[in-house]
């Protein structure tokens, strides 16, 4: 039997490269694999949990996985995000490798930012990053917790922390099986997680992606 392509329709690469992000519904094969890895996650409360924030975070928001779980997860994400049926344009120019992976639940207002600027260089500060959402099968607008992205105007000053959208703001609802990719190499493209307003699960697998041209 011939293998069917993983995706019948690619993700919107035009949206990714003009707005800095885009989302899609994860294919069933990747979804099943990643769901089975997620079953092994152990949830913990970090020592440096902020006390005062706007938004909802469960008591144990930090997910940990053993070494083999982590490498299964990295392999699944890497297979999905390099599939030419999903990313035909990117696949023509290079390959994405999965760097650090974080597993979290909940979200609070992290303010508009660009991952490579203003001291935000952490886990998802690769050339690109990918976030896979789990927890609630559908998502209601009034729950908050959306991933928001926009363009800003560049200025001569080094932006320290005040990033302001100069465009419309686009949103991704973090319902289970939604995946998004973001582009960190373009300084115009900023994003934030809106605070979660109700105690719903908003589980995120956040992977830093590095680009290797062919």
Residue numbers of the site for Fe ion (CB under 5 A)? Answer: 115
How far, in Å, are 45, 61, 65, 88, 198 from residue 53 at the CA level?
Answer: 16, 14, 27, 40, 14
- Smallest distance, Fe ion to C-beta of residue 111, A: 10
- Smallest distance, Fe ion to C-beta of residue 114, A: 8
Nearer residue to Fe ion within complex by CB, 33 or 115: 115
- Smallest distance, Fe ion to C-beta of residue 1, A: 41
- Smallest distance, Fe ion to C-beta of residue 5, A: 31
Nearer residue to Fe ion within complex by CB, 27 or 115: 115
How far, in Å, are 26, 30, 62 from residue 73 at the CA level?
Answer: 14, 10, 16
Nearer residue to Fe ion within complex by CB, 26 or 131: 131
- Smallest distance, Fe ion to C-beta of residue 113, A: 6
For Fe ion, the nearest residue by Cβ is 115
Lookup: tokens for 109: 């207002």
């Amino acid at each position: 039997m011939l293998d069917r392509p993983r995706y019948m329709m690619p993700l919107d690469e035009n949206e990714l490269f003009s707005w800095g992000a885009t989302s899609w519904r994860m294919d069933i094969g990747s979804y099943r694999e990643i769901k089975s890895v997620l079953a092994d996650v152990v949830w913990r409360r970090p020592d440096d949990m902020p006390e005062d924030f706007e938004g909802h975070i469960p008591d144990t928001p930090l997910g940990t996985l053993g070494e083999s779980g982590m490498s299964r997860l990295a392999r699944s994400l890497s297979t999905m995000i390099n599939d030419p049926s999903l990313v035909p344009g990117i696949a023509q120019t290079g390959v994405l490798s999965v760097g650090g992976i974080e597993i979290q639940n909940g979200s609070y207002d992290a303010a508009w930012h660009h991952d490579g600027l203003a001291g935000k260089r952490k886990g998802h500060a690769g050339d690109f990053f990918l976030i896979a959402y789990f927890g609630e099968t559908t998502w209601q607008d009034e729950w908050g917790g959306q991933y928001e992205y926009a363009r800003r105007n560049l200025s001569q000053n080094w932006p320290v922390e005040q990033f302001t959208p100069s465009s419309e703001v686009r949103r991704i609802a973090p319902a289970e099986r939604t995946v998004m990719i973001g582009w960190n190499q373009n300084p115009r493209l900023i994003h934030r997680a809106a605070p979660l307003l109700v105690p719903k699960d908003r589980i995120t697998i956040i992977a830093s992606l590095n680009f290797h041209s062919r």
